[in-house]
């Protein structure tokens, strides 16, 4: 055997590559683990590192203590449920514990929508907890989606909320996803919160969903107070929907802002109905390094409330330097150009997305954006629910190419009825401003954008951005003319939207598959 293959780190990289790109990656790794002693340990580490439930671990118990039976759902599909026939003995635990220590990640798999052929009965969770010879069960776990321990994300194991913190080593757990569905009692949520602050004070990435919490804001306020006290929390994804409107008035009085709250927060994602709740959260943030804001309102938002949110964001001098990405989404809103100018102070911004915020772009605002954000890479300003013809023209696009040499993605409405005299000057400026080859640029445009001469528009775009790709978002208005532009610009190339810029270290950690 070559001496390089005796180095564990090299083997792990090779096996990781096989696991990801091969359609038979898991069976191949299993065969390596069984047939070669030198490959066994690293192959098993990769094979077991990322799990979507405890089901594979349970299936390692002796078959005579397991009970498998078929169940049929109302919609006709059936699956095999697994539960224990008898309580596992210490000897029965020997094999599962060998593999349990290798699990680093328990999170949602990419194929979660596929129908599972096997799932765990809800009693399995407590049986494991009571018979475990020693704790924790998963001593090296780094990332946990608590709702997946049953192998079925539709089933929530709320009766054993306190046992969550016995599954892993609190000092090692980095990220946690926890959710309460529409049928959960708020008492279980309170238990979780009480234990979170004491048992997992080192947590860095937290995703919490509260669905159907209708207790006049008390659980929400307690959540916010607990989250703010986590001194190492870097990323928070907090969803609370389906609350009574009256609950919002209780958030402020009940929310206790601890000293130096949210001191380490970098990424913040909020999905809630009330702008006032968002304001309370921002007022509690003491971090000077916030760089990623993603706020979603699933309902209509009064512009006065949104202005209060924007004013609070813009009032922090340190965020002017740290902010990299801002995303605002609503069911509907009506933002003015003056409202949008409040964001121009974030001169290091690289991603801006305004979805259904009602902003109507013009060339003056687009020019100011381009000059204020020289590092901008992705810009999306759309209102598909309330489409309004854009006042921005191709001249605004010229300004973006002059001042934003790193731009890769634009989703805008543009009035293309008038063609600027020449794109050569702008193209030269763009080429000279940036070192190295020019990047591909994807322009997404809705056909409500005005157009008269498809050939002239295609020629202009190709001259301005030689590596541009055009994507038509919908089928309203001048579909035929814009389709001609796309055919001339794209040729036979397939247009792929680049992935959204992510400044969330949680996503980076999970993409590394727990290593």
Give per-residue pLDDT as tens, 358-414.
899 999 999 999 999 999 999 999 887 777 788 999 999 999 999 999 999 999 889
- Cα–Cα distance list, 210 to 45, 141, 215, 308, 413 (Å): 34, 24, 12, 24, 36
User: 156 and 81: one domain?
Assistant: yes
Query: Do 57 and 36 fall into the same domain?
Result: no
230 lies in some domain: yes
Which residues are CB-contacts of 108 (< 8 A; sequence separation ≥ 6)? 52, 145, 148, 153
Residue for token pair 């000279």: 432
**Digit-coded pLDDT (tens) for 41-94:** 787 888 888 888 888 899 999 999 999 887 766 456 678 889 999 999 999 999
Is residue 494 scored above 70 in pLDDT? no
- What's the number of CA atoms in the CB half-sphere (13 Å) around residue 208? 23
Residue 80 pairs with which residues in a beta bridge?
A: 70, 118
Same domain, 89 and 164: yes
Q: Which of 173, 207, 240 lies at the terminal end of a domain, its last residue?
A: 173
387 within a domain of the structure (yes/no): yes
Any idea what DSSP says for residue 24?
Answer: T
Which residue range forms the structural domain that includes residue 151? 52-173
- The two counts, helices (H) then strands (E), for the chain are 19, 17
Q: What is the total count of domains within the chain?
A: 4
429 or 179, higher pLDDT:
179
List beta partners, residue 271.
Answer: 239, 296
Whether residues 88 and 17 fall in one domain: no
Contacts of 221 (CB under 8 A, 6+ apart): 250, 251, 254, 255, 256
Question: C-alpha distances in angstroms, 498 versus 30, 333, 412, 445, 465?
Answer: 35, 27, 15, 15, 17
Q: 3-state DSSP call for residue 28?
A: helix
What are residue 119's DSSP bridge partners? 81
Whether 293 is in a domain gets the answer no
Tokens read off for 86: 């008898």
My answer on whether 377 and 480 are in the same domain is: yes
Taking the C-alpha atoms of residue 270 and residue 172, their distance in angstroms, rounded to an integer, is: 26
Residue 352 belongs to a domain? no
Element (H, E) at 34: helix 25-35
Judge if 209 and 156 occupy the same domain. no
Q: pTM here?
A: 0.82
Residue 295 domain flag: no
What angle (nearest 5°) sits at the alpha carbon of residue 483, between those of residues 481 and 486? Answer: 115
Confidence of residue 160 (pLDDT cuts 50, 70, 90): low
pLDDT score for 237: 92
Q: In the structure, what pLDDT confidence band is assigned to residue 247 with cuts at 50, 70 and 90?
A: very low
Element holding 382 (H helix, E strand): strand 378-382
- Which helix (H) or strand (E) segment holds residue 297: the answer is strand 292-300
CA R_g for the chain: 27
Whether 149 shows a pLDDT value over 60: the answer reads no
- Cα 412 versus chain centre, distance: 23
**One domain, residues 164 and 184:** no
Residue 336: pLDDT band with limits 50, 70, 90: very high
* Structural domain contains residue 424: yes
């Amino acid at each position: 055997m070559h001496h390089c293959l005796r180095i564990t780190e090299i083997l792990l990289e090779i096996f990781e590559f096989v696991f990801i790109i091969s359609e038979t990656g898991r069976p191949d790794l299993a065969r390596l683990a069984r047939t070669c002693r030198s490959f066994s340990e690293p192959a098993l580490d990769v094979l077991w590192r990322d799990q979507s439930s405890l089901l594979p671990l349970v299936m390692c118990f002796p078959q005579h203590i397991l009970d498998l039976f078929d169940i049929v759902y109302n919609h006709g599909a059936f699956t095999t449920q697994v539960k224990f026939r008898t309580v596992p003995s210490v000897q029965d635990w020997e094999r599962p514990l060998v593999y349990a220590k290798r699990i680093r990640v328990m999170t949602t798999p990419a194929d979660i929508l596929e129908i599972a052929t096997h799932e765990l009965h809800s009693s399995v969770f407590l049986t494991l907890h009571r018979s475990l010879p020693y704790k924790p069960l998963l001593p090296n776990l780094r990332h946990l989606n608590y709702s997946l321990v049953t192998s079925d994300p539709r089933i929530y194991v709320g009766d054993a909320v306190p046992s969550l913190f016995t599954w892993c080593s609190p000092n090692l757990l980095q990220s946690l996803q926890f959710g309460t569905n529409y049928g959960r009692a708020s008492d279980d949520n309170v238990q979780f919160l009480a234990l979170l602050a004491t048992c997992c004070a080192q947590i860095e990435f937290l995703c919490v969903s509260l669905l159907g919490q209708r207790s006049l804001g008390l659980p929400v306020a307690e959540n916010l107070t607990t989250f703010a006290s986590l001194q190492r929390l870097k990323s928070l994804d907090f969803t609370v929907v389906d609350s009574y409107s009256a609950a919002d008035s209780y958030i402020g009085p009940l929310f206790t802002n601890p000293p130096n709250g949210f001191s380490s927060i970098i990424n913040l994602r909020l999905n809630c109905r009330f702008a006032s709740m968002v304001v309370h959260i921002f007022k509690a943030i003491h971090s000077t390094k916030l760089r990623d804001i993603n706020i979603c309102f699933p309902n209509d938002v009064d512009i006065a409330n949104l202005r209060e949110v924007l004013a609070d964001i813009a009032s922090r001098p340190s965020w002017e330097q740290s902010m990299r990405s801002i995303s605002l989404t609503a069911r509907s809103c009506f933002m003015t150009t003056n409202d949008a100018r409040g964001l121009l102070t974030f001169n290091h911004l690289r991603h801006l997305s305004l979805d259904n915020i009602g902003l109507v772009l013009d060339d003056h605002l687009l020019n100011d954006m381009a000059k204020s954000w020289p590092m901008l890479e992705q810009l999306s300003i759309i209102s598909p629910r309330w489409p309004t013809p854009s006042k921005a023209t191709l001249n605004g696009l010229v300004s973006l190419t002059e001042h934003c040499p790193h731009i890769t993605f634009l989703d805008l409405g543009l009035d293309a009825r008038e063609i600027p005299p020449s794109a050569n000057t702008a193209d030269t400026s763009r080429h000279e401003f940036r070192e190295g080859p020019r990047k591909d640029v994807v322009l997404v445009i809705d056909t409500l954008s005005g157009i008269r001469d498809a050939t002239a528009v295609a020629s202009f775009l190709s001259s301005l951005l030689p590596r541009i790709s055009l994507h038509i978002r919908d089928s309203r208005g001048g579909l035929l003319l814009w389709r001609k532009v796309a055919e001339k610009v794209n040729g036979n190339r397939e247009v792929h939207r680049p992935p959204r810029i992510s400044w969330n270290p949680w996503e980076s950690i999970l993409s590394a598959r727990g290593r």
